[in-house]
Amino acid sequence: MELHHEFTVPVPVDDAWRALLDVERIAPCMPGATVDDYDGKTVTGSVKVKVGPITVTYRGTAVFEEQDESAHRMVLIANGKETRGQGTARATVTGTLAERDGGTAVSVRTDLTVTGRPAQFGRGVMAEVGDKLVGQFAECLARRLEEPTERTEPPEAVEPLQPAQPGQAVQPAQPVEPIDLLRTAGPPVAKRVAVAVATAVLVLVFVRIRRHRHA
C-alpha cells in the first residue's frame, strides 16, 4: 500500500535536513521504535505494535539508500520481521524537504507491505494510524528543534547533543511504549477487532458442536 503524509517544522530547510539525519536526536520521537545501532547509513532496531491484548515486535534494519543534500531528498528502505511469528514489514520511504514561510515542509511517501496480524486492518485504517503517528512525530520533532532557544542555562553549562557515531549504540532514555493500534486509530479498528473476535468465537463454537455430534 502507498501512503502519503506531510508536516511542517519551524526551522529553515537546512536545519531540518540535518536534524532528520541525526538519528540519535530524533529516535525518541519515533512512536514504538527503539534504535540499537547506527553506523552512518544503516539503522538497526525494533518497532513494537500492540493489537488489542497482543504486542508484536518487529526487528530489522533501515538503510539510507539516498541522501541528496542539494535536493533535500532522502530514500530509506526498511525491513523487519516479527520476533515471535511469521509476520513481516517492508517499507520504502521517500522524504523531500522544501522551504515554506520561514519553516520547512516535509513530504513523506511510503510504499508499505505488511504481513501478519496488523495487516488485517487494510489500507484505510493503516493510513489513519499513519496520519496520527506522523502527527505525533512532527510535534515531538518541532519541540526538539526549538529546545536550544528555550533553555535558560548559560551556553557553557549545556552539553550539546551529538549525532551517533558510526558503530555507536543508541539507547532510549526510557522504555519504549508500543504503538497501540486500537487507541491510535480509535473506533474503526476497535469495531474490526470486535467483529474478528466474534467471528472466531462463533467458528470455534460451531466446530466444537460438530465434534460433539460426531462423537
For residue 30, what pLDDT is reported? 87
Q: How many Å is the Cα radius of gyration of the chain?
A: 21
CB neighbours of residue 97 within 10 Å: 20
User: 73-87, 148-162, 190-204: lowest mean pLDDT where?
Assistant: 148-162
For residue 99, what pLDDT is reported? 94
What residues contact residue 111 under an 8 Å CB cut-off, 6+ apart?
1, 2, 91, 92
Q: 88 near 78, Cβ under 8 Å? A: no
How many distinct helices (H) and strands (E) make up the chain?
Answer: 5, 9
What residues contact residue 65 under an 8 Å CB cut-off, 6+ apart?
75, 76, 77
CA distance 158 to 114: 42
CA distance 80 to 59: 5
**pLDDT bucket at 156, cuts 50 / 70 / 90:** very low
For residue 152, what pLDDT is reported? 40
**pLDDT bucket at 150, cuts 50 / 70 / 90:** very low
Q: In the predicted model, is pLDDT for residue 162 greater than 80?
A: no
